[in-house]
Amino acid sequence: MAFDFGIDRPPPDKPKRKPSKVSACFLFCGRILPAMLNRDGIKTFRKQLLAWFTQFQRDLPWRHTKDPYAVWISEIMLQQTRVAAVIPYYERFLARFPDVRALAEASQEEVLRLWSGLGYYSRARNLQKAAQQIVALYGGEFPRDEEEVMALPGIGPYTGAAILSIALGAKQAVLDGNVARVLARLGAVRGDFREPRRWQSLQRSAGELLDRKSPGDWNQAMMELGAMVCTPRAPQCLLCPVAKFCRARQSGDPEAFPGKRKKREAVQIVLAAAVFSTPRGQTLLMPPPGDKKENKPAADDVATLVSRMWHFPTVAIRKDASTELRNYLADSLPPGNGALQLEPLNRVRHAVTYRSVTVLAFRIAIAKIPRIQGARSIPLKDFSTLPVSNLTRKIARAALLESTEPAAKPDTLKLSLKP
């Protein structure tokens, strides 16, 4: 599984004691690999890992192609997303957009609709921007030059190295979270491996190990090892093809390496959402919010939380949910709708990075969906025609569960909330 981590750069902690020999070598020599991984050891390491990968690798659809476009799509989708979740999206996306030009010429709404439910929607927007750039600058052919690839929107060091090595055989080592964990355990490196100096040392070590004859297979083998064997918890050392080289295993407590990342304290956010419902089962969705000029929106910015996609009328709450939602609707709806009866639904829980979101959703029974400029009336049971975020899907589920007989709930949800 591929993850393209950004690296926070907090001020370094002041050392309270002299570093150990391992950490001193790590910090000042730039090498974390065990001494046994000399020239002969590296050859054995490569041979054993590649043999294991050949025999035990998962059969994944993007491993059946060397097309840079298809590899690129897979790598972007796999960022911070489970492999099992990606597979159906990858297959649908390529069926609709089989090449760069098809993606570049599509409407953004259609691109987001096919991405809907996969999360981190800036990835989809950047994909299309990059596709349009490839068409404009390179005639629709995915570039082969490293500088040109790295200049594309949404492509960072990991993604660029993965595409170039897997699709084009470039001698570049990838470093994602899985590979970093493998390397940190090989050298028994403690501490957060995303700390900039550690990450740079891990990148150098990844380059030392790289099999330059088969860089694409090698990079995938390292990622596969981290994803399937050298997992964050309960690593399966007895199944590891290179366990004899691992200092963390020799320590007797491989799970202690690397150190845990310090998580940002969660920010609690409360939203209120209105789910209009007509006798015919229609509901109201508001249009995607426009981009704001400010660089950093507030943590409770509704546009950010709904991923700038179609959404229920929603407002951030300061004190009283029903009162503040009524005020928001009074400002948004045309006059003449009368007093609205708000029926509370089950609370919806959602998490977005460091934000813990609680949505107080209310159903509003109404004879006819009010007309709001840009808004749409759609069936509550079918969101397939518009791109919506996971948060909006959860609110829809809450409304459907409240209005459906228990025996029919599973089938209703299965049919109505497919991406």
- pLDDT of 23 above 50: no
State the pLDDT at residue 17: 40
State the pLDDT at residue 5: 32
Helix (H), strand (E) at residue 377: strand 376-379
State the pLDDT at residue 264: 85
Q: How far apart are the first and last CA of the chain?
A: 22
Catalytic positions, please? Answer: 75
| Mean pLDDT, range 398-412, rounded to an integer | 57
Mean pLDDT of the chain: 88
Domain 21-256 has CATH 2.60.120.10: no
State the pLDDT at residue 39: 86
> What distance in Å separates the CA atoms of residue 203 and residue 201, rounded to the nearest whole number?
5
State the pLDDT at residue 259: 86
Long-range contacts of 20-28 (CB under 8 A, 24+ apart): 22/187, 22/188, 22/189, 23/189, 23/190, 23/191, 26/187, 26/189, 26/198, 26/201, 27/197, 27/201
| Mean pLDDT, range 289-303, rounded to an integer | 82
Give tens-digit pLDDT for 351-362. Answer: 988 999 999 999
| Mean pLDDT, range 322-332, rounded to an integer | 94
The 3-state secondary structure of 45-77, one letter per residue: HHHHHHHHHHHHCCCCHHHHCCCHHHHHHHHHH
- pLDDT of 417 above 50: no
> What distance in Å separates the CA atoms of residue 177 and residue 70, rounded to the nearest whole number?
22
| Mean pLDDT, range 305-321, rounded to an integer | 96
Give tens-digit pLDDT for 134-177. Answer: 999 999 999 999 999 999 999 999 999 999 999 999 999 999 99
Q: Measured at the alpha carbon of residue 319, what is the angle toward residues 315 and 321, in degrees to the nearest 5?
A: 50
State the pLDDT at residue 35: 75
Domains of the chain by residue range: 21-256, 267-416
pLDDT band at 31 (very low <50, low <70, confident <90, very high): low
Q: Determine what percent of the chain is predicted with pLDDT higher than 70.
A: 87
Give residue for tokens 């299965």: 414
Taking the CA atoms of the chain, what radius of gyration do you get in angstroms? 25
10 or 334, higher pLDDT: 334
- pLDDT of 408 above 50: no
> What distance in Å separates the CA atoms of residue 163 and residue 406, rounded to the nearest whole number?
47
> What distance in Å separates the CA atoms of residue 331 and residue 326, rounded to the nearest whole number?
9
State the pLDDT at residue 334: 82
- pLDDT of 18 above 60: no
| Mean pLDDT, range 62-69, rounded to an integer | 98
pLDDT band at 20 (very low <50, low <70, confident <90, very high): very low
The pTM of the full predicted model, rounded to 2 decimals, is: 0.84
State the pLDDT at residue 290: 83
Q: Which two tokens stand for residue 280?
A: 């015919």
Check if the beta carbon of residue 215 is closer than 8 Å to that of residue 171.
yes
Q: Determine what percent of the chain is predicted with pLDDT higher than 90.
A: 79
- pLDDT of 304 above 50: yes
Residue 413 burial (C-beta neighbours within 10 Å; 0-12, 13-18, 19+): middle
CATH number of 267-416: 3.90.79.10
| Mean pLDDT, range 8-17, rounded to an integer | 35
State the pLDDT at residue 385: 93
Tell me which residue of 202, 197, 148 sits closest to 173, measured CA to CA.
202
